[in-house]
Amino acid sequence: MTAQTYPRPPGLLGDMADYIYAQAPYPILEVALGASAALMAGVCGAAFQTPDPMAGLNLYVMVVAPTGEGKEAGHDGIDALIRAVVEGVNDTQVPDMPSAKDFIGPPHFASETALVRHLVKSRSFVSLFGEAGKWLQRVSNPRGSQHDKDVGTALLKLYGKSRNGSVFRGSAFADTGKNIPDVVSPALSLYAEGTPETVFVNMTEDMISDGLFPRFLVLESVGRWSDLNRNALCSPPPELTAKLSALCFRSLQLMQQGTYAQVRIDPEADELLEAFRVAIRGTLKIAGDEVSRHFWSRSHLRAVKLASLAAVGVDMEVPTITREIAVWAINVEKTATNGVSARFDRGDAGGSENNEAKQERELKKAIIRYLATEYDALKNTARTTRAMHADHVIPDAFLQQSVANNVAFTKDRLGKTAALKRAIGNMLSADYLIQVDPGTMVKKYKKSTRFKAYGIGNASYFNDAPEDDGSDADNGNFFTG
């Protein structure tokens, strides 16, 4: 897989991304972009609304990178930025703002009740999560604890409750002192980080259909390992602190007044985002799998929220989505969602216990290995014959031996035999393989009528070059654009 690049965000969003990147011991593009967008969402989520149809600017962001690559810099950068606003800047006109600390929420919610009680106290904030894959499995697992499932359900509902006038209903208890009031237009944002092994490998169809994971803007760092940044910044520049402090003050002011500022949009930008929405709807109508539908169905809304956050960062008094901002937001969203979808298409995600795409890939590799191997190396394998090998006829027994210890099949809920039968059946249905009839097996290949074998139905399918899994070691600059 090759490294992804993202254009630099405009305005304050880009300034914060630059700082988060520059303060990191091992800078990662995706971490800088994801952390800056999540912090902006935490500050602006309830105080600003997207263009019609309105929605709050909260976001769920997940950054995925290998262990040891430097994911923690996102948390550290967010903490440093908010701490600078809370403490102010000495010898400048930037006063301290203790209330800004409320834009950072708890890193863990023990229950739905705890989550909602915090929203009552502060209805716009971002919570920072580590070990995102394990956490996501807990709150999405139908067999998990009731507390975890309740938190997951609440997160699903809260994602869309930041729109002006929306209400997240509280709870009533026999002990009225424990009652939880309704929360009007709560804007919860999440920033989570994890590794490919914990986020993708154990992802199941149930977790996708649950809907929580597809709500995330998922930024995966691939093919890029940064060198040690020996000149990492410690504190944010005073100018950046001043800009973020002014935005925090503006958001607090709007929320205290019980009002909001709606982001405007230029006609050209509106056309671009509408074209993106229409293109997605057309794709969803013909999409052949539910995974793609779940991810792309929320893509337009994420792009609009990203564009709105960028617009606020350019002008918090009269935020306006311009063509440039719309193009940036659409490109980020398309790159991110294409990256996640490609993982599932390749079979590199979804959990080996229920991953037909990965099984098909492994079966395809076994067939290619049979076709590419000289007969003399195969003559004692699965009772194949020289004539069968020359005609590209693959014994069923060879395929069974090839996947006997393959985890994609052995961990399938149906068992490896049934899983292989299903995978072969899928290839037969797609005309990639053709089952050789018993008469031909007897007459031409001198086998019994019970000997099962398959011919090649679509040679081009098996001629595909294997995907390049090599990494690009080029660290590159920060954002391209």
Per-residue model confidence as pLDDT tens digits over 29-46? 999 999 999 999 999 999
- Structural tokens at position 283: 């794709």
Run of H or E residues at 395: strand 394-395
| Nearest-angstrom CA–CA distance, 66 and 197 | 8
What is the pLDDT, as a whole number, of residue 4?
A: 62
Q: How confident is the model at residue 475 (pLDDT cuts 50, 70, 90)?
A: very low
- Structural tokens at position 340: 């996640």
What is the pLDDT, as a whole number, of residue 473?
A: 34
Could you tell me how far CA 83 lies from the centroid of its own chain?
Answer: 28
| In the predicted structure, residue 225 carries a pLDDT above the cut 90 | no
Domains of the chain: 11-259 (3.40.50), 354-463 (no CATH)
What is the pLDDT, as a whole number, of residue 466?
A: 43
| Nearest-angstrom CA–CA distance, 374 and 186 | 65
What is the pLDDT, as a whole number, of residue 287?
A: 67
CA atoms within 13 A on the CB side of 472: 12
Question: Of 48-62, 136-150, 441-455, which gets the smallest average pLDDT?
Answer: 136-150
| In the predicted structure, residue 474 carries a pLDDT above the cut 60 | no
What is the pLDDT, as a whole number, of residue 133?
A: 83
Most confident of 74-83, 123-132, 206-215, 228-237: 74-83
Residue 180 DSSP symbol? B
| Residues whose CB falls within 8 Å of the CB of residue 286, separated by 6 or more in sequence, listed in order | none
What is the pLDDT, as a whole number, of residue 197?
A: 83
What is the pLDDT, as a whole number, of residue 412?
A: 78
Run of H or E residues at 273: helix 267-286
Q: How confident is the model at residue 205 (pLDDT cuts 50, 70, 90)?
A: low
| Nearest-angstrom CA–CA distance, 40 and 380 | 64
| Nearest-angstrom CA–CA distance, 159 and 50 | 14
Per-residue model confidence as pLDDT tens digits over 271-295? 999 999 999 998 888 765 677 788 8
- Residues 190-215, mean pLDDT to the nearest whole number: 84
Residue 183 backbone zone (phi > 0: left; psi -120 to 50: alpha; other: beta): beta
Question: Of 5-9, 129-133, 165-169, 285-289, which gets the smallest average pLDDT?
Answer: 285-289
What is the pLDDT, as a whole number, of residue 131?
A: 83
Per-residue model confidence as pLDDT tens digits over 341-362? 888 776 677 655 456 777 888 8
Q: How confident is the model at residue 73 (pLDDT cuts 50, 70, 90)?
A: very high
What is the pLDDT, as a whole number, of residue 319?
A: 98
Per-residue model confidence as pLDDT tens digits over 303-342? 999 999 999 999 999 999 999 999 999 999 999 999 888 8
| In the predicted structure, residue 216 carries a pLDDT above the cut 70 | yes
Strands (E), 177-334: 183-184, 187-194, 217-220, 261-262, 264-265, 320-321
Q: Where are the alpha helices (DSSP H) in 66-111?
A: 73-87
User: Is-contact 50 61, C-beta < 8 A?
Assistant: no
Residue 258 DSSP symbol? T
What is the pLDDT, as a whole number, of residue 472?
A: 36
In percent, how much of the chain has pLDDT > 70? 91
| Nearest-angstrom CA–CA distance, 324 and 410 | 50
What is the pLDDT, as a whole number, of residue 357?
A: 73
What is the pLDDT, as a whole number, of residue 254?
A: 97
User: Is-contact 360 36, C-beta < 8 A?
Assistant: no
Closest CA to 236 of 247, 224, 227, 245: 245
| Residue located via tokens 């709105």 | 308
- Structural tokens at position 139: 């709150």
| In the predicted structure, residue 468 carries a pLDDT above the cut 90 | no
User: Is-contact 103 110, C-beta < 8 A?
Assistant: no
Mean pLDDT of the chain: 88
What is the pLDDT, as a whole number, of residue 200?
A: 85
What is the pLDDT, as a whole number, of residue 469?
A: 36
Q: Where are the alpha helices (DSSP H) in 23-131?
A: 29-44, 73-87, 112-121
What is the pLDDT, as a whole number, of residue 392?
A: 95
